[in-house]
Structure 1
């Protein structure tokens, strides 16, 4: 009966142990009776089983409590958090509190299986032993009801991986309860608590016979009597001067909220300028993350407070708790004894008490920038950043910003206007900052962002060139940001720029511009899985532009065929960004064939001559084509062509080609001369090396050649290819190159060489291919008599509706053709079957 198997031959294994205990379970049974208690425990067991499977736990033992093993601490923590929430819901349904205490530890254990005979008579299937087990037990026994305690080994591992829990992981509250003594454990142990707001007690555990707070000798009662007498003689003033400062648990990449600067000097020029300078200085750190001003104001709005509410101790602490920030920093500038003092307090947002304070004095307002650098460096060291890191990642403010306080104030006001989407006003402030200090590199970079946000690339370029000339005046992070934009405007941006954005994301993982822009670059190059991964990283709660990242998540999901998830992401982005439905939501609805809802969304969108108003017509035309409403599609396309004349040259060429595309799809003869004219015009404009959209013009020109081929007209491509082949090589855009290969293959097919066309196209099928690669392959296979291969491509076309709608290549110049081909796939399939039958009957 005791013939248990020997412990695993591999010896001790490092595992995460979670021990829980259901509080007052015996009293509960007496209170509600055996029958209701049995039903409650059955529901409890279902909860445990579901969580065990979700978090990959191994249940070792159970009674009133649980013993589970996990491979990783974050899995054990996820189980504990969900278990606490699940118990809360079970109890609420029965109108009483149901809580458990939990202890989480990481250590070595020995495991072995009991024999089948032993299990049959009541032994556990698996035994676990080792010092880690009583340690987890002590933590569990020490915890208050509803409390999750972690050992000093488990806490940093779980804390570092908390982002894997998604948005909830960003909002967890972590608290150190200091050093404790456990009975039977010789050394004192640091213990931590973690939990969700409103659920976790976040109070120190009570002392008990098996666990008690490790209080130094000088703080014990007998010693305190003597100390009080001594302190009374020395005086309260001396004690106040020498009292120890409280600590705050702060880890690398934790977030801080910077409150509004308190300006006690009476000099208004210091109000916005020093607050911005404080941010610029602190944001140089790779250890401390600063919640952006745009994000804090957004949270204020969600708290239903006015946008200009002062971020004092209480308000900033509430923002910190909502956004998962570990600390609040309150800067102050004042005149003390004829000197200008810059000081800053670090506040624990849970208690709103001051944890650290630093200050630096100087003569005159010009000294304030140097004082800010001194104060932020001291705060970074107090928060745990290594001195070498501070020295490496710190440049003086006059170098990386400006020594002109008026210019700095104009820059700060420009950022506020930009954050509130008042772009013309923001541009005026940035131009004023530049006029006051022509070497203010950050102001040029900010003006660049304004023009890029307005899709005015030509106006942006002079600011970019000036910023590049002043690159040495930027902090390392801002210099990398500039390098990425420089690559966007340089030669072959489609290949060079993504590498720069990825570098920025890797070196500064919480600076979301790198993640988002790389996600967009990957999406634009049809690398949808990679785009989804980086877009999700950019969708963190601390990102002030989170709604845009969530929308990009939806686009990638739609491209990958998950239209329902995409629709949910679009709706979430609209809710967070507080904007109405857009054409991407209509595309997702149309992909799901919910056409009435898609048309209702499109009816709400603008149809003016702005860029967004014009591009809304892409979905209007595509949805009409998808439904076979050819007259409607032609009317919308004709109107869009007329109005696009007032848009950009790319849009004018694109909608002219789309109108001809819709007419030919509806059965009318292709206007070959008109198609060729559009191709020549777009090709000529693509030859302008100063045009940042030349790749899109080249794509439109190749689309014209391809449209001719689809109607058996090889002459369009024959005249355009001599110009487009060397042009595509110079541009170096991967998608332009792909479309060029499609057109070259089309010529081979029309010349009676379908096998050569297939050989040219097949290497493109690698996951990032254009939608039309499969249409071209279908045509080549059909021409070669390879009917089964053609049917494979037809099925692909019919199954990738989301990709047809959302592929962004060439400003979606071929979107209408893509969508039409998803419906034509069924017709083409019937034609392929008919051809096969005819061949067998010959």
Structure 2
């Protein structure tokens, strides 16, 4: 296969994925499948044959250029499973390896020395790249068409002559013949080449002269030339025809959008009977010329020689010329608007959003739509800010504005808008939209990010992981948020070290919201002092950090501290009527319950459920899944503390929202609530019939709690103990599980400790006194007897085991 890619890293990513896919395919069929791959960078010419020619046997698309046989030679010499790169492709791919996410950090890059290819006069330096355990990572064998260029000093027959030559010539020869040092590719800047201005009147030369200029310029050691394909793609986002001429102004805007450092404007003209070729280096910010190079020749046939002369001189001075232009080459977001100022405002909004500064982001998104009212993604950005700020109802109006502009969007951005509409109008179908978008466009970061977040919400953590990793690409302007999502997934999987690294990356890139989740990593490992120090750095005005402070206090058995943190959070939300104001009632209720105030706990849980149900009846969308989840979680908690009336009310009222309840998370919670009612009614076997199909590997934490209690009621101690082991081991999930925000975090964390008490009770009932004593001692270390409320003191004392 001959495959063309926009950039070397895209080709490398494909080759790695292809080799992995072959491995999986081969293993499923008990075969060993391998591929060879060769990667080279260079200019090629493509043209389409006519339909008549294709019918006679021609290829639909012809590809020609020196890059083609070079890549073919690399591929043919590779070992099975090996990826070989030329000296041109290797540094470009190596410097961009971080874009492959976590996988790119583990690649091995191996130089294989100089090789000679049949038909190529100069020897070529070859590299191998691959994943440990998959790639051969050793030099390929010599073949008639490719062989190792062995130096003379390694050839025994020439060794004596070599020594004599070195003695005769000495150090002087080394100074004369040493190669000039090359500038590393990772120091090269990008430039945009504008369309060649042909002022000679010989229009037939336009394409050939422009192609000659680009090919010659691309040999520069100082710059990379933005491809014509990439420039045309940017034109489409500018709402301009792909055939638009790239003059000084248009090329400068493309440079600003794509982060190119300079524009080069070539011109061919006739001056005094001679043909002049000139090239201007232009600052895209001011569109002023900072350097010009010219060459004159006699007659139109001199133009190719003049182009070589101009580009040769230009290549030598490009480093100096480009360095004189202010370094401000961060690319603007690749979204559709024809207003450059609106795009700049959008870029500032993206930066603010990525740093968790939602009020600033909303201001800049609003500014972008003021400058360009038809800027659909800026309207959608306002929706996203409101959702992230837990003010989803306020995001409805800008979402509808974006919907009106659906026809202006290219396919990818249109699918992105459709997925956001599904979040509000059909939540149960939204995740499928995000996964589809991320699969169709793997380098579209919002698709990856939202697919990862949606899968994480449903506890489908292993499925979320590849999307989350991909979303941390440095090309993603919201990579900080991407690392936060990756950290959540890692923490849910219990991968504490990797979760900490991801949250640290998010924080270092400006997303300060990750600090509280970084504290959760420490708390889940019972490193309470570290968690407390991290939370202490977060301002008291940050209401969300109170969720983690409540859970941390509960984890340590400090009920008054948990109640105080809950009270402080509710005071911050006192004048609000959004989702936060009702969701924070549930962790406050858990704190009251553990402190021994059952009546206050039941009151708060009831208020949370009633407020959530009321919001469902009046809301225009956005918070519907969260509100339904809050009502179900509150009813579940009320059952826990002995009230069954709230459960009946919630089940009855939610049954009216049949479409909403198709959401996988909500349908699971509803099933658990019904199973708990059956268990409490003395029907544990019927409860197990409902609960067991929910154990899919991505079930919710409270589902396992309910399953454990159902096994206890069914007198199946062995299986109940298995559930308790799961609950004790999945503390990362207990801390980070999503749903109604993190409204069940406090209850999950409490249950991770109560599992130890339940274990002691079951082991004692089974006659395992030694095991029960050890479990009781473990529980006492978590929650000493003196901090327990009356209910738990009775349970602890009934074990009849001395406390430590």
Q: 1:240 to 1:481 in 2, by over 3 A?
A: closer
Alignment correspondent of 1:465: 400
Distance, in Å, in 1 between the alignment partners of 2:458 and 2:587 is 22
Which of 652, 657, 662 lines up with 2:581 in the alignment?
652
1:754-813, Cα deviation, whole Å (9 max, x unpaired): 111111111101012110011001111111111111111111110100000000111111
Q: SS at 1:584's partner residue?
A: helix
Q: 1:621 to 1:292 in 2, by over 3 A?
A: farther
Which of 757, 774, 777 lines up with 2:704 in the alignment?
774
Q: Is the 8 A contact 1:699 1:810 kept in 2?
A: yes
Alignment correspondent of 1:621: 550
Q: 1:486 to 1:805 in 2, by over 3 A?
A: same
Q: SS at 2:756's partner residue?
A: helix
Q: Is the 8 A contact 1:284 1:475 kept in 2?
A: no
Distance, in Å, in 2 between the alignment partners of 1:732 and 1:602 is 37
Alignment correspondent of 1:268: none
1:269-289, Cα deviation, whole Å (9 max, x unpaired): xxxxx999686469999xxxx
Offset at residue 549 of structure 1 (A): 1.2
Distance, in Å, in 2 between the alignment partners of 1:401 and 1:502 is 26
Which of 400, 409, 422 lines up with 1:487 in the alignment?
422
Which of 560, 565, 581 lines up with 1:631 in the alignment?
560
Distance, in Å, in 1 between the alignment partners of 2:383 and 2:255 is 19
Alignment correspondent of 1:664: 593
Distance, in Å, in 2 between the alignment partners of 1:515 and 1:769 is 22
Q: Does 1:476 align with 2:445?
A: no
1:512-532, Cα deviation, whole Å (9 max, x unpaired): 111111111111111111111
Q: Is the 8 A contact 1:550 1:570 kept in 2?
A: yes
Moved more, 456-465 or 159-168: 159-168
Alignment correspondent of 1:592: 525
Q: Is the 8 A contact 1:284 1:477 kept in 2?
A: no
Q: Is the 8 A contact 1:679 1:720 kept in 2?
A: yes
Which of 679, 690, 694 lines up with 2:624 in the alignment?
694
Q: 1:275 to 1:436 in 2, by over 3 A?
A: farther
Q: 1:423 to 1:573 in 2, by over 3 A?
A: closer
Q: Is the 8 A contact 1:805 1:819 kept in 2?
A: yes
Q: Does 1:640 align with 2:569?
A: yes
Task: Name stretches of at least 5 consecutive residues in structure 1 with no aligned partner.
Answer: 1-54, 56-68, 78-102, 109-130, 140-147, 197-204, 211-237, 259-273, 297-309, 315-327, 337-346, 356-393
Alignment correspondent of 2:379: 444
Q: Is the 8 A contact 1:682 1:698 kept in 2?
A: yes
Q: Does 1:412 align with 2:344?
A: yes
1:84-130, Cα deviation, whole Å (9 max, x unpaired): xxxxxxxxxxxxxxxxxxx997678xxxxxxxxxxxxxxxxxxxxxx
Distance, in Å, in 2 between the alignment partners of 1:505 and 1:627 is 41
Offset at residue 690 of structure 1 (A): 0.9
Q: 1:189 to 1:727 in 2, by over 3 A?
A: farther
1:720-757, Cα deviation, whole Å (9 max, x unpaired): 32112333653432212211111111110111101111
1:45-72, Cα deviation, whole Å (9 max, x unpaired): xxxxxxxxxx9xxxxxxxxxxxxx9956
Q: 1:726 to 1:833 in 2, by over 3 A?
A: farther
Alignment correspondent of 1:552: 485
Number of residue pairs aligned between Structure 1 and Structure 2: 564
Q: SS at 1:809's partner residue?
A: coil
Q: Is the 8 A contact 2:519 2:534 kept in 1?
A: yes
How large is the RMSD of aligned CA atoms in angstroms?
A: 5.3
1:424-477, Cα deviation, whole Å (9 max, x unpaired): 677666656656765454553454455445444333322221221221111222
Q: Is the 8 A contact 1:589 1:598 kept in 2?
A: yes
Q: Is the 8 A contact 1:748 1:754 kept in 2?
A: yes
Alignment correspondent of 2:200: none
Q: Does 1:759 align with 2:684?
A: no
Moved more, 753-762 or 700-709: 700-709
Q: Does 1:246 align with 2:215?
A: yes
Q: After the TM superposition, which residues 51-90 of structure 1 pair with which residues of structure 2 at under 5 Å, given as runs?
A: none
Alignment correspondent of 1:713: 643
Q: Is the 8 A contact 1:698 1:736 kept in 2?
A: yes
Q: SS at 1:577's partner residue?
A: coil
Q: 1:637 to 1:454 in 2, by over 3 A?
A: closer
1:486-545, Cα deviation, whole Å (9 max, x unpaired): 111212x1x322222222222222221111111111111111111111010111121122
Q: 1:312 to 1:190 in 2, by over 3 A?
A: same
Q: 1:831 to 1:436 in 2, by over 3 A?
A: closer
Q: 1:774 to 1:550 in 2, by over 3 A?
A: same
1:126-166, Cα deviation, whole Å (9 max, x unpaired): xxxxx879xx9xx9xxxxxxxx9649999999999994884
Q: 1:703 to 1:160 in 2, by over 3 A?
A: closer
Q: Is the 8 A contact 1:706 1:717 kept in 2?
A: yes
Q: Is the 8 A contact 1:526 1:768 kept in 2?
A: yes
Offset at residue 550 of structure 1 (A): 1.6
Distance, in Å, in 2 between the alignment partners of 1:745 and 1:721 is 12
1:641-692, Cα deviation, whole Å (9 max, x unpaired): 3333234532222222222222212344345455334322321222235131
Distance, in Å, in 2 between the alignment partners of 1:294 and 1:587 is 39
Q: Does 1:503 align with 2:436?
A: yes
Q: After the TM superposition, which residues 123-202 of structure 1 pair with which residues of structure 2 at under 5 Å, given as runs?
A: 150=86, 163=100, 166-167=103-104, 182=117, 185=118, 191=124, 193=126
* TM-score (norm. length: structure 2): 0.59
Distance, in Å, in 2 between the alignment partners of 1:279 and 1:76 is 30
Q: Is the 8 A contact 1:276 1:412 kept in 2?
A: no
Q: Is the 8 A contact 1:687 1:727 kept in 2?
A: no
Alignment correspondent of 2:757: 827
Distance, in Å, in 2 between the alignment partners of 1:656 and 1:740 is 20
Q: SS at 2:443's partner residue?
A: coil
Q: SS at 1:811's partner residue?
A: coil
Distance, in Å, in 2 between the alignment partners of 1:693 and 1:791 is 37
Distance, in Å, in 1 between the alignment partners of 2:255 and 2:714 is 59
Q: SS at 1:727's partner residue?
A: coil
Alignment correspondent of 1:790: 720
Alignment correspondent of 1:535: 468
Distance, in Å, in 2 between the alignment partners of 1:441 and 1:639 is 39
Bigger relative contact order, structure 1 or 2 (CA pairs below 8 A, ≥6 apart): 2
Alignment correspondent of 1:379: none
Q: SS at 1:812's partner residue?
A: coil
Distance, in Å, in 1 between the alignment partners of 2:617 and 2:579 is 13
Q: Is the 8 A contact 1:151 1:189 kept in 2?
A: no
Q: SS at 2:522's partner residue?
A: helix
Q: SS at 2:509's partner residue?
A: helix
Q: 1:605 to 1:291 in 2, by over 3 A?
A: farther
* TM-score (norm. length: structure 1): 0.57
Which of 666, 670, 677 lines up with 1:740 in the alignment?
670
